[in-house]
Structure 1
Amino acid sequence: MTVIGAGPAGLVCAIALARAGRRVLVREWHRNVGMRFHGDFQGLENWSGEQDVMDDLCAAGIEPTFDYHGVTRGTVYDSRGGHYQVQSAQPLFYLVRRGSDEGCLDHALLGQAIAAGVNVRFEDRASDVEGDAVLAIGPRRADIIAVGYVFATDMADGSWLVLDERLAPRGYAYLLIHDGRGTVASCLLKGFKQQAAYLTRTVAFFRDRLGLAMNAAKPFGGFGNFRIPSSAVQGGHPVIGEQAGSQDALAGFGMRYALRSGLLAARSILEGRSYASLWHHELRPLLRAGMVNRLIFDLIGERGLPAVEKRLSHGDARHALRRIYRPSIVSRLLFPIAKLRSLGASRDPSCDHIDCDCVWCQHQAEHNPPIADLNRTDGR
């Protein structure tokens, strides 16, 4: 069995298969895991499932050998200067670091894969696919980009989110600090070409409000793709991770979906079940609900957001988010509208690839994506 791509989805799939006695080869075209990341904090969300995400991973045999920290409270700012405290009894999300360094999620999963007997081959560009394979090459276009800094700091731990078009058009800005490490970023769904200006405003906002102090700051950037394919199988091969649209269209919290898709693919192989059917019933409804949430978020606009933030600040925010993300009749009815709107607004017109140094254009210039045709599972 071959897994193409050594992201979280590909690695957890390989781990599950290898521990069940299958011989697994992982082919990765970068020289190491986590090369898209720089040790920045990301959130492993804990609201889209009934169980705690860490319990889900442990039940699937994925050991938490990476650094993680449960976040139960945070502050949300709106464009009018208001701010709201949100909290929950259980973690809203877990802070994890992404990258190839020790303690990062990617590094830990690689170690578990190798310990399980997986053969991981780096700098191996797959030009075609033969035999039994799982496809996990990641996103091949950007609907959202994140630009920011990782840094050292003596500030107290905390999590802060800002919903303000002046800092992050159609997106959000955030500051995450834990144990002397920090990540500050602006996540944009448009205005890619002006990413530097939005990041400057984001840093200024947190300096003004919280006294942000950054030491040894290093820039980073990332990107994500919002898409829901008509099928998660291509050429008879399961497609997992962001290549199969495992991303939250509202806020970009896609790691949990990606990990789940990798485990679903392994389960389909080991049990002789249809991966397409498993994905259709267990993942696609969540992805559709996320796209509907994005539609509602855009329609509400900045004027309506304070009411939503206020609602989240009363009671348990995890329970409220769970209700928002739960697939429902409403999400099924609104999905066709949400998808049409997404198709029309997914490409940022400012990112014209002419004298543009946004995160996405830099990535395109530095890398020639392998087997690009394998990223198309729905004609898009």
Structure 2
Amino acid sequence: MVHSRRMFLRQAGLAGIGLSFTGALGACSRGKPARSLNLYTWDTYIGKNTVADFAKAAGAGVNISLFANNDELFAKLRSGNQGYDVIVPSNDFVERMYAAGMLTELDHAKIPNLKNIAPQFLNPPFDPGRRVSVPYTWIVTGIGYRKSKVDGVPDSWKWVLDSDRYKGRIALLAEASELFEIGAKYLGHPANTNDPAVIAQVKAMLLKQKPNIAAFHDDNGQDLLLAGDVDLVIEYNGDIAQVMRDDPDLAFVVPREGGILASDGLCIPRNAPNPDLAYAFIDFVLGAKAGADIARTIRYPTPNQAALALMPDDYRNSQVIFPPAAALAACEYSRYRGQEMNSRYEQAMTQVRAG
């Protein structure tokens, strides 16, 4: 049966968008609705038992809404918080949303389980001192592929960005900034370049490659690969690790030019309606047991050292979930470089999609 992201959520006890779950303790007397945490997150990005266990522990429901990419998340909150308590942006969007005044500065005294996070994740350049985010996962972008359909290991971005060898069997990320950062790395430039000439080079390359591209995907590249719709896809390591459980013919590689590193964080947006529940949820998720349940389900690398200690060897030793140090050495964190640069990326991507 074809694995889908919605099916994955149903297997985790959730279904659809705008989903909700209320624990037995969450029902108030005399028919009043339970208090609920409003979580805005990525698809397939929560533990199998996270919602039920939190609902039981906190005596509150959880409403989950899903976004496809960071651009959608930012656009949704651009005009103000629409009722969300916790959101899960990636590192460069943590910077962007903080600069735009969208995020609440965190009181670490209300997050005692922050002690479970490995020290190397506590003072990142995109959020020094973890003022507005706590680490949920870390991520590496690379190439997912079907071994039986690809001749060798696609260990260069050339396979997907600059070759017609697999015409019609390639899917690329739709998120403008990350795709252009990958293109810059392939062409020998820093990922976080501000050079308009490099953006123009990448755009020209993508326009030339477009006839060979089957799809620009929003957070479902692994589904396209698993379904057999494509044989090569730019994707995140955890997403490919998820579908590798269903199909041993799938694999993942970080190209030799280096991929993009990311870290998704738990943030409380300004004017969250339930800040006490937001802190309770964040602290719960950072617990060892809850963190291990999340890692076991979503197969992304966890920054939670207490959770990692509870994980089996097939997780801790996976070179998809934890790529080798040599591969990571060539990778770069994506950084927010201001609205002008973001607009240039988005305009260039629009031209590629329309070209």
Higher RCO structure (Cα 8 Å, ≥6 apart)? 2
TM-score using structure 1 length: 0.30
Bigger fraction of residues in strand = 1
TM-score using structure 2 length: 0.32
